């Protein structure tokens, strides 16, 4: 078997796994196919996800189902104002040894898992939120000068409620920028809601079967990075990033008016990497303009810092990204 | 595998070159209407600026086609540009474009490159050549070009005549050359021009020396017959001249001339100056009071006729000049010179 044929088979296996993971998650989460696809895209790109939606849409269930389908270790952190960083990353405890000698021992926190769900992250204090920064970026934590590597793969999914903002601490821009995707979970359709009712009120609850594991996920991540993006496609992604800045010549009027700060370079990385994963999941070895367009909203939406007028006029990130996509022609 | 890869590469290169040729042809056809519109517009401007000259239409049409060809050649896309174009037209999702880039960068992850080339070949095999359509542009340029072309064809189909005999052309040119001097005579070649009468042409500067001889050698000019006046131009008859003079066309009406000439003529007649006598007699003759024969019986018409006799043989009068300005006619010049001589004498 030649190298190209072998690689072609691995790419085919990637597509198969990608589809099977999605199917397993959909056993539990009904009517959210685009959200599931975006979640798996971020997962294979080893990026973190911020989900946003009103309570009861199945955000937690989605992450749980994902971890089960991938046979990964899962942990959940419920954020509250009194949550401390030590509650997240762990702490040193004074333990008595077998011979009666006391010694400090590091007790790992819930962040030491493959898939970590941080519920309502905007209810945690900024001090606790910042505890996630190093973990998300460096995939390690440091306690009392001692560095501890996190599990590989490490996938953090945070949720936040866009309605109840009283008593919350909005995430700082630096932390928002570390999320690969921000996925808005929409309200399900009538048919999907009917199926949810049937599924959750019956005597048998479906359970996702593991179709991949951590090593398979790492393999998928390495394959994604071998997909090619032409210079034109890369330039298109960069132009999209530039157009999110009000001072850019390609920025649409709505961006000039409402965006206080545009996307960082991490936005371009997310666009291209997610475009590669999307292309591979659809059987291509190259990124197309459409791939980039399709991932533009989850990759760039949370990277725009809007001004006061945007809030006052009800302008959303989605409408602004739509304007950017219309103003920048490939 | 190597053979497969080189086969894919050769196939893609050959298809891309074919698509590029077709793209150039499509660019040419797209540019033809605009270039023809420009060249025809130039043709119309040319025809308007040089009213008597008719620029060759075929040359301009050929120029338009050549300009379109030049435009297409200048905008000939690169291989990568062609790949991008075909991708867009055939919806190949940047497969060809990525493959074209990898052709230029051998050694960049060969295995993935081979897969991309194979994938690009697979999708390109299903792409027909007419994905780049060959048709003449139909945009607003094309509509403008066809409108201008219609105008040009109408103008080009008008009858073309010789400028020397074309009555349509002659009249507008004369009217465009400015006011017609009243005492100017258009000399038909057959009516007593010196060369036509067989006499040796005299030096035009020796006008005074030849004045006596002209009355004998060119009697039809010295004493212009009604036929010569009317055939030259009916509006130049004595009645018309008088009417225009009365209307002040030449700047002085009859009363003014009388006021100038009457005291002058009396004074000169008393002093016996022959030149004054001639002028006085001439002015009387102008007014129809008659006069003696010879030089003393000269009328403005006979003076101008004698001047017209000085035109070199074979040369037509200035009225046939195609330029709007045409210069100052010799007859008018003489008339003005005489007028100022009279004014000087009067002072």
- Tokens for B219, please give them: 């009697």
- Residue B325 predicted with pLDDT over 90: no
Determine contact: B79 vs chain A, CB below 8 A: no
Partnered with residue B271 across adjacent β-strands are none
Q: Is some CB atom of chain A closer than 8 A to the CB atom of B93?
A: yes
| Chain A residues inside the 8 Å CB shell of B112 | 7, 226-228, 285
Confidence of residue B332 (pLDDT cuts 50, 70, 90): confident
Which pLDDT belongs to residue A200?
83
- Whole-angstrom CA distances from B30 to B10, B34, B39, B66, B254 are 30, 8, 15, 13, 72
Residue of A2, A232, A290 with shortest CB distance to B93: A290
CB-CB neighbors (< 8 A) of B94 in chain A:
230, 232-233, 286-289
CB contact, 8 Å: B114 with chain A? yes
Instruction: Please count the CA atoms within 13 angstroms of the CA of B318 that sit on its side-chain side.
Output: 17
CB contact under 8 A, B114 and A287: no
Residue B331 pLDDT grade (very low, low, confident, very high; cuts 50, 70, 90): confident
User: Contact B115/A4, CB-based, under 8 Å?
Assistant: yes
Per residue in A143-184, pLDDT (tens digit) is 888 899 999 999 999 998 877 777 889 898 888 999 999 999
Confidence check: pLDDT of B39 > 60: yes
Question: Can you give the C-alpha Rg of chain B in angstroms?
Answer: 40
B12 at A interface, C-beta within 8 A? no
Instruction: Find the mean pLDDT for residues B33-38.
Output: 83
> pLDDT value at position B253?
59
Confidence class for position A284, pLDDT limits 50, 70, 90: very high
Q: Does A7 touch chain B (CB under 8 A)?
A: yes
Which tokens is A108 given?
């790992």
pLDDT over threshold 80, residue A201: yes
Tell me how far apart the alpha carbons of residues B175 and B173 are, in angstroms, rounded to a whole number: 5
Q: Is B89 on the interface with A (CB under 8 A)?
A: no
Partner A contacted by B118 (CB < 8 A): yes
Q: Is A231 on the interface with B (CB under 8 A)?
A: yes
pLDDT tier for residue B169 given thresholds of 50, 70 and 90: very low
B102 in contact with chain A, both atoms CB, cutoff 8 A: yes
- Supply the mean pLDDT for chain B: 66
Q: How much is the pLDDT for B245?
A: 53
Instruction: Tell me the whole-structure pTM to 2 decimals.
Output: 0.67
**What is the reported pLDDT for B157?**
67
Question: Rounded CA gap, B263 and B254, in Å?
Answer: 15
pLDDT of A318 > 90? The answer is yes
Contact A232 B109 (CB under 8 A): no
Q: Do A232 and B5 touch (CB under 8 A)?
A: no
- Using CB atoms, which residue from B95, B101, B112 is nearest to A7? B112
Mean pLDDT on B12-35:
89
Tens-digit pLDDT profile for residues A105-123: 889 999 999 999 999 999 9
- Whether residue B198 is predicted with pLDDT greater than 50 in this model: the reply is no
Q: Sorting pLDDT into bands at 50, 70 and 90, what band is A311?
A: confident
Q: How is residue B209 annotated by DSSP?
A: H
Per-residue pLDDT for B281 more than 50? no
Q: What is residue B172's predicted lDDT score, i.e. its pLDDT?
A: 40
Q: Do A230 and B97 touch (CB under 8 A)?
A: yes
Within 10 angstroms of residue A303's Cβ, the number of other Cβ atoms is: 22
Nearest to B338 by CA among B268, B278, B262, B295: B278
Q: What's the whole-number mean pLDDT along residues A28-55?
A: 93
Chain A residues within 8 A of B115 when measuring between CB atoms: 4, 7-8, 11, 285
CA distances from B327 to B180, B188, B318, B336 (A): 12, 21, 8, 14
- Chain B nearest C-alpha distance from A3 (Å): 6
- Cα of A4 to nearest chain B Cα, Å: 5
- Looking at the complex, report in whole angstroms how far the Cα of residue A293 sits from the nearest Cα belonging to chain B: 12
Q: Under an 8 A CB cutoff, do A230 and B101 touch? A: yes
Chain A: closest CA distance from residue B14 (Å): 21
Q: Does A228 touch chain B (CB under 8 A)?
A: yes
Tell whether the model's pLDDT for residue B269 goes beyond 90.
no
Which residues from chain B sit within 8 angstroms of residue A285, using beta carbons? 98, 112, 115-116, 119
Q: How far apart are CA A90 and CA A92, in angstroms?
A: 7
Contact B111 A4 (CB under 8 A): yes
Chain A's closest residue to B115, CA to CA, is A4
Q: Express each pLDDT in B214-250 by its tens digit.
A: 444 444 444 444 444 445 455 555 565 555 555 554 5
Nearest to A286 among B98, B110, B114 (CB): B98
The residues, any chain, with a CB within 8 Å of residue A31's CB and separated by 6 or more, are: A188, A189, A191, A192, A193, A195, A196
Using CA coordinates, name the residue in chain A closest to B94. Answer: A288
The answer to whether B116 and B95 have CB atoms below 8 angstroms apart is yes
Question: What phi, psi does A160 have (nearest 5°)?
Answer: -145, 150
> Is the Cβ of B84 closer than 8 Å to some Cβ of chain A?
yes
pLDDT reported for residue B203: 44
Q: Which residue in the set B1, B97, B98 is minimally distant from A4, CB to CB?
A: B1
Of A226, A231, A290, the CB nearest to B101: A231
Sign of CA dihedral A118, A122, A127, A129: positive
| C-alpha torsion angle, residues A51, A52, A54, A59 (rounded to 10) | 0
CB contact under 8 A, A288 and B1: no
- Out of B5, B94, B118, the one facing A230 most closely (by C-beta) is B94
Containing H/E element for B293? none
Give the residue from chain B lying closest to A233, CA to CA: B94
Among A91-100, B202-211, B213-222, B275-284, the range with the most confident prediction by mean pLDDT is A91-100
Check CB contact under 8 Å for B94 and A286. yes
Give the CA count within 13 Å in the CB-facing half-sphere of A35: 27
């Amino acid at each position: 078997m030649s190298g190209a044929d072998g690689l072609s088979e691995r790419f085919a296996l990637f597509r198969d796994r990608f589809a099977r993971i999605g199917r397993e998650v959909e056993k539990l989460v009904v009517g959210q196919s685009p959200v599931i696809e975006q979640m798996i895209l971020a997962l294979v790109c080893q990026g973190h996800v911020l989900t946003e939606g009103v309570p009861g849409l199945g955000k937690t269930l989605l992450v749980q189902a994902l971890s089960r389908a991938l046979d990964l270790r899962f942990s959940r952190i419920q954020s509250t104002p009194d949550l401390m960083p030590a509650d997240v990353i762990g702490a040193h405890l004074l333990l008595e040894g077998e011979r009666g000698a006391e010694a400090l021992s590091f007790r790992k926190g819930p962040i030491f898992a493959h898939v970590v769900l941080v519920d309502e992250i905007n209810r945690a204090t900024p001090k606790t939120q910042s505890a996630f920064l190093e973990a998300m970026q460096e995939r390690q934590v440091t306690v009392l000068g001692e560095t501890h590597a996190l599990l590989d793969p490490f996938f953090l999914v945070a949720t936040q409620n866009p309605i109840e903002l009283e008593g919350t601490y909005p995430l700082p821009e630096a932390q928002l920028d570390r999320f690969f995707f921000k996925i808005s979970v929409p309200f399900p359709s009538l048919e999907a809601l009917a199926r949810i009712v049937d599924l959750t009120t019956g005597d048998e609850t479906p359970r996702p079967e593991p179709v991949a594991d951590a090593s398979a996920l790492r393999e998928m991540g390495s394959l994604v990075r071998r997909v090619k993006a032409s210079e034109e496609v890369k330039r298109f992604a960069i132009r999209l990033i530039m157009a999110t800045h009000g001072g850019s010549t390609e920025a649409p009027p709505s961006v000039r008016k409402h965006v206080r700060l545009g996307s960082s370079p991490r936005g371009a990385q997310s666009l291209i990497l997610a475009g590669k994963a999307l292309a591979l999941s659809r059987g291509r070895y190259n990124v197309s303009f459409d791939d980039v367009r399709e991932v533009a909203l989850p990759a760039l939406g949370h990277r725009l810092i809007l001004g006061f007028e945007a809030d006052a006029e009800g302008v959303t990130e989605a409408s602004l990204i739509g304007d950017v996509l219309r103003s920048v022609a490939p | 595998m190597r053979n497969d890869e080189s086969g894919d590469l050769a196939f893609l290169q050959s298809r891309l070159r074919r698509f590029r040729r077709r793209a150039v042809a499509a660019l040419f056809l797209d540019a033809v209407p605009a270039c023809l519109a420009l060249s025809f517009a130039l043709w119309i401007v040319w025809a308007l600026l040089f009213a008597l000259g008719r620029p060759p239409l075929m040359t301009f049409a050929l120029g338009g086609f050549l300009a379109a060809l030049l435009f297409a050649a200048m905008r000939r896309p690169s291989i990568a540009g062609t790949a991008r174009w075909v991708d867009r037209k055939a919806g190949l999702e940047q497969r060809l474009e990525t493959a074209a880039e990898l052709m230029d960068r051998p050694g960049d992850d060969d295995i993935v490159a081979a897969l991309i080339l194979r994938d690009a070949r697979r999708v390109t095999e299903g792409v027909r050549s007419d994905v780049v359509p060959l048709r003449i542009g139909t945009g607003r340029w094309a509509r403008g070009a066809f409108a201008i072309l219609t105008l040009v064809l109408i103008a080009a189909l008008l009858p073309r005549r010789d400028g020397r005999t074309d009555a349509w052309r002659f009249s507008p040119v004369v009217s465009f050359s400015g006011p017609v001097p009243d005492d100017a005579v258009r000399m038909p070649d057959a009516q007593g021009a010196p060369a036509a009468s067989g006499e040796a042409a005299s030096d035009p500067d020796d006008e005074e020396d030849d004045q006596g001889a002209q009355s004998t050698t060119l009697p039809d000019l010295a004493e212009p017959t009604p036929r010569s006046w009317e055939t030259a131009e009916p509006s130049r008859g004595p009645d018309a001249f008088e009417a225009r003079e009365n209307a002040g066309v030449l700047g002085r009406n009859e009363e003014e001339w009388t006021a100038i000439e009457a005291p002058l003529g009396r004074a000169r007649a008393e002093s016996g100056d022959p030149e004054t006598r001639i002028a006085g007699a001439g002015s009387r003759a102008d007014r129809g009071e008659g006069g003696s024969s010879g030089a003393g019986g000269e009328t403005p018409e006979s003076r101008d006729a004698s001047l017209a006799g000085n035109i070199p043989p074979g040369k037509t009068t200035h009225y046939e000049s195609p330029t709007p300005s045409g210069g100052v006619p010799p007859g008018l010049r003489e008339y003005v010179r005489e007028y100022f001589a009279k004014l000087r004498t009067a002072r």
